[in-house]
Chains A and B, each alone.
Chain A
Amino acid sequence: MAFSTIYNVFFKRNSVFVGTVFAASFVFQAAFDSSVTSWYEAHNKGKLWKDVKLKLGESGDDEDDDDE
């Protein structure tokens, strides 16, 4: 009977259906964005500016000041 509950709660009324879709799309966007970003940063570890900045900070500070 679980499916009839799902049907009655989410799909029966079109307003609820569309509202659920829009709300879920907001959640999906945030989740998708953060997951892609974290994957990208893990994939390019060591090549990103935030990693390079730390290395530059050890040797020379003059370039560090330019950013921001």
Chain B
Amino acid sequence: MLGLRSSFRSSLQAMKSQSRLISASAVSAKSTYRTPDFGDYIKEKQDADKSRSYAYFMVGSLGLLSSAGAKSTVETFITTMSASADVLAMAKVEVNLAAIPEGKNVVVKWQGKPVFIRHRTQSEIDEANSVEMSALKDPQTDADRVKNPEWLIMLGICTHLGCVPIGESGDFGGWFCPCHGSHYDISGRIRKGPAPLNLEIPEYEFDDQKLIVG
């Protein structure tokens, strides 16, 4: 160990005496290759920038074409994942709200699922708003579940096992699922029974007298 250290020190001392640390090869050891004279082959009026620009232009053009091709390939591939026109055509459903009298339920089919639309009366709206949050299994205010309190729009699929609840029945004046006895209130919130969540609210918007679900 001691011998190793002393030899390292002596080699450091030897390096100090040398002038060149980085380039260790002496001039005499460098290449002896003599560059040939290309003079006979070089054009008379050689413009280095012209030929260089030409070469770079060709490289750039190839890059342009291949990047455009790559972009359209990727684009085409991604486009195949988007919904096709026939799917998009079925994605929305329009309902004329003027035909639904107050206090009536209407069930429409949207994307293969039933959607409940209820034109609620003022007393039903008051009833939905008067419920204490602590009494709910899945607490949600009525205002969170409707855009317009007169119209309650929700997916008619029981959140328990996916049966379709029956309207205007059950202990809470709303919906009742006959499969396992889940009771929903007039805002579609679960009040009693095995279902864990309130009836789901789909995306919808009002357009004058029309309702667009989807």
Which residues of chain A have a CB within 8 Å of any CB of chain B? 3-4, 6-7, 10-11, 17-18, 20-22, 24-25, 28-29, 32
Judge if B135 is at the interface, Cβ distance under 8 Å: no
- Tell whether A21 pairs with B67 under 8 Å between CB atoms, given A7-B56, A29-B72: yes
Query: Could you say which of B47, B49, B67 contacts A25, with CB atoms under 8 Å apart?
Result: B67
- Tell whether A28 pairs with B64 under 8 Å between CB atoms, given A3-B47, A3-B53, A11-B53: yes
* B52 touching A11, Cβ below 8 Å: yes
Size of interface on B: residues with Cβ below 8 Å to A: 14
Judge if B34 is at the interface, Cβ distance under 8 Å: no
* B49 touching A4, Cβ below 8 Å: yes
| Chain B hits for A29, CB < 8 A | 68, 71-72
Count CB-based A-B contacts (< 8 Å): 42
Q: Interface readout for B18-43 with A: 1 if CB under 8 Å, 0 if not?
A: 00000000000000000000000000
- Tell whether A17 pairs with B56 under 8 Å between CB atoms, given A3-B50, A4-B49, A7-B49: yes
| Known interface pairs A21-B67, A29-B71, A32-B68; 19 further A-B residue pairs with C-beta atoms within 8 A, sorted by A's residue number | A3-B47, A3-B53, A7-B49, A7-B56, A17-B56, A17-B60, A18-B63, A20-B60, A21-B60, A22-B67, A24-B64, A25-B64, A25-B65, A25-B67, A25-B68, A25-B71, A28-B68, A29-B68, A29-B72
Nearest residue, chain A, Cβ from B64: A25
- Tell whether A7 pairs with B67 under 8 Å between CB atoms, given A21-B60, A29-B72: no
Q: Which of B44-88 contact A (CB under 8 A)?
A: 47, 49-50, 52-53, 56, 60, 63-65, 67-68, 71-72
| Chain A hits for B68, CB < 8 A | 25, 28-29, 32
Question: In whole angstroms, how far apart are the Cα atoms of A7 and B17 in the complex?
Answer: 48
